[in-house]
Chain A
């Protein structure tokens, strides 16, 4: 309990009667990179704003470093670095001046400015006015501002939003290094599961203001399970061969799909198929992608049986979901 960096209990915020965040219980242990995941409009940003004291919860408690945010806000915020949604910056100032406005308040030595600029790789452009920065550079400046006070907890809301692939990669590498190098706990929100999967060590998934899953990434992946896909010349005939071997595949776009099958069974099956003169093109393991799992979880129980359909067209399903919001 004491090692929880962030803990919320029954955190609730309503806008005109509709809950944006509904009885949310968040628990983030020290040293983790916690991926805070949910579709657009799930209440991630609202939650993060409440964690930073920018908006007041209607009910519930926020504890950071084991202290009550309502009572110890200033003390807590001194140890927290944050970047909320799009980066905030003063366009008419250069990077050093931007950081200076924050440095004065945090009361850290001037050398920290050079350090954080070096960390995010902006040293070269430090004297240019921020107006002319690309979005990626502004985002990095935002992270530099968050790091300036040597925080123990870093709260980043959608830090890779709107960045190009190389920018995303850079920021991801930057975030991944933090717990190891500086012992910082990171809360990073995203609506992209692939993003979170690549950097987080544990994950919380919210939908419609409610927490639907909270555990470590490996546990999430275990939940996802795996399937063996076999592509071959004559799938219909191969079905019969497979049944003779005691396996019961389903047919999916000319491939045999096996669920919950162990190594020995696969070996015997492939041998049998070769004996039956099938041309085997591919034998591949497919994890149900986390995206599918995510969609299953966030779309509730009603869609649980349409899993197969979503698995074949996760992108389309995602689009439809967004349109529905």
Chain B
């Protein structure tokens, strides 16, 4: 049943521009770096990152990964929720023979798929950029594959909050405001105390304890997901 729901959710996303957000978000980050490296190629490749140009490219892109992920989670979830909210289609969707917890899960999975797609796009586009720039040295495939993925897992608590808010609150201004505020604050993530989940994506890249923050992210997300799902399953649909 969850598979069917997921298929319908993906079907509902046609022509909503959601996939554009996925594209623009990830490829946009790379485009920014293309500009950066294109303008100051000699300085960056032969001077600042001379010892490890690939690492330099990944690091300069990585600075913007947390804010991009938070923004993406906010925008994608509110767009997903908006499909049902706009014409109040919840009453139709939930009057079908489906479990509410599965509807909730399907919305989460569609967002996760989009986030993963964005990570893959980021990896691929950064790789292409590196190749186009003819960066010297061995290509760090492992790092390329994970420098978007790990921070994404470390920021999952945000997705937990967004899932809950966007799917249960009719007024999308509230979750969107919260999401944007969070993504802006996350720029300073690396200098925040690690008690704050907002710092986790940055710390997952910079602290050297990647797995710890990834684990924390997944753990907190699991709790938020359960609470959100429980609330969603019980609430009255207006």
- Residue A274 at the B interface, CB < 8 A? no
A-B CB contact pairs (8 Å), 9 listed: A56-B236, A74-B98, A85-B91, A89-B87, A90-B89, A104-B4, A105-B5, A105-B8, A107-B4
* One of B10-18, B119-127, B130-138 contacting the partner: B10-18
**Cross-chain contact of B88 among A49, A73, A88, A107 (Cβ < 8 A):** A88
With beta carbons under 8 angstroms apart, the residue of A84, A89, A92, A106 that contacts B15 is: A92
Q: Out of B5, B8, B88, B95, name the residue touching A77 (CB < 8 Å).
A: B95
Mark each residue of chain A from 90 to 104: 1 if its CB lies under 8 Å from any CB of chain B, else 0. Answer: 111100010011101
In the assembled complex, the Cα of A49 lies from the Cα of B236 at a distance in Å of 9
A-B contact count (CB 8 A): 84
Question: How near does chain B come to A248, taking the closest CB pair, in angstroms?
Answer: 55
Please report the C-alpha to C-alpha distance between residue A90 and residue B86 in the assembled complex, in whole angstroms.
8
A75-B88 contact, Cβ under 8 Å, with A92-B14, A92-B15, A97-B11: no
Decide: A74 and B99 in contact? CB cutoff 8 A.
yes
Known A54-B237, A76-B97; 11 more pairs at CB < 8 Å:
A55-B236, A55-B237, A56-B234, A78-B97, A86-B87, A87-B87, A89-B87, A97-B11, A100-B11, A104-B11, A105-B5
For B86, the closest partner residue in chain A by CB is A91
CA distance A91 to B84 in the complex (A): 11
Contact B4 A90 (CB under 8 A): no
B91 touches A54 (CB 8 A): yes
With A84-B91, A88-B87, A91-B86 already in contact, the answer to whether A77 and B96 are too (CB < 8 A) is yes
Q: Which 7 A-B pairs have the closest CB atoms?
A: A88-B92, A55-B236, A88-B89, A78-B97, A77-B97, A54-B237, A52-B95
B residues in contact (CB < 8 Å) with A = 1, 4-5, 7-8, 11-12, 14-16, 83, 86-99, 234, 236-237
The answer to whether the Cβ of A214 comes within 8 Å of any Cβ in the partner chain is no
Which of chain B's residues have a CB closer than 8 A to the CB of A100?
8, 11
A90:B99 contact, CB within 8 angstroms: no
CB distance from A320 to the nearest CB of B (A): 29
Beta-carbon contact of A93 and B94 below 8 Å: no
Given known contacts A91-B87, A104-B4, A54 and B99 CB-to-CB distance under 8 angstroms: no
Interface pair A101/B12, CB less than 8 Å apart: yes
B11 touches A84 (CB 8 A): no
Whether B89 contacts A89 by the Cβ 8 Å rule is yes
A314 within 8 A of B: no
Q: How many residues of A contact B (CB 8 A)?
A: 34
A93–B14 CB distance below 8 A: yes
Q: Report chain B residues within 8 Å CB of A52.
A: 91, 95
Q: Which residues of A contact B11 (CB under 8 A)?
A: 93, 97, 100-101, 104
B83: chain A residues at CB < 8 Å are 90
User: Pick the contact of B14 from A76, A86, A87, A97 — CB < 8 Å?
Assistant: A97
- A105 in contact with B95 (CB, 8 Å): no
**Cβ contact within 8 Å between A105 and B89:** no
Considering only CB atoms, which chain B residue lies closest to A55 in the complex? B236
- B97 lies within 8 A of A75 (CB): yes
Interface flag for A53 (CB, 8 Å): yes
Q: A189 within 8 Å of B by Cβ? A: no
A145 CB-CB contact with B under 8 Å? yes
Contacts of A102 in B (CB 8 A): 8, 92, 96
Task: Give the docked Cα–Cα distance between A152 and B12 (Å).
Answer: 27
- Most chain A beta-carbon neighbours within 10 Å: one of B12, B90, B93, B96: B96
Known: A89-B87, A145-B92. A105 touches B12 (CB 8 A): no
Closest CB-CB distance, B15 to chain A, in whole Å?
Answer: 5
A139 proximal to B (CB < 8 A): no
On chain B, the residues within 8 Å of A106 by CB distance are 96-97
CA–CA, A89 and B1, complex, Å:
21
Q: How far is the CA of A93 from the CA of B14 in the complex (A)?
A: 7
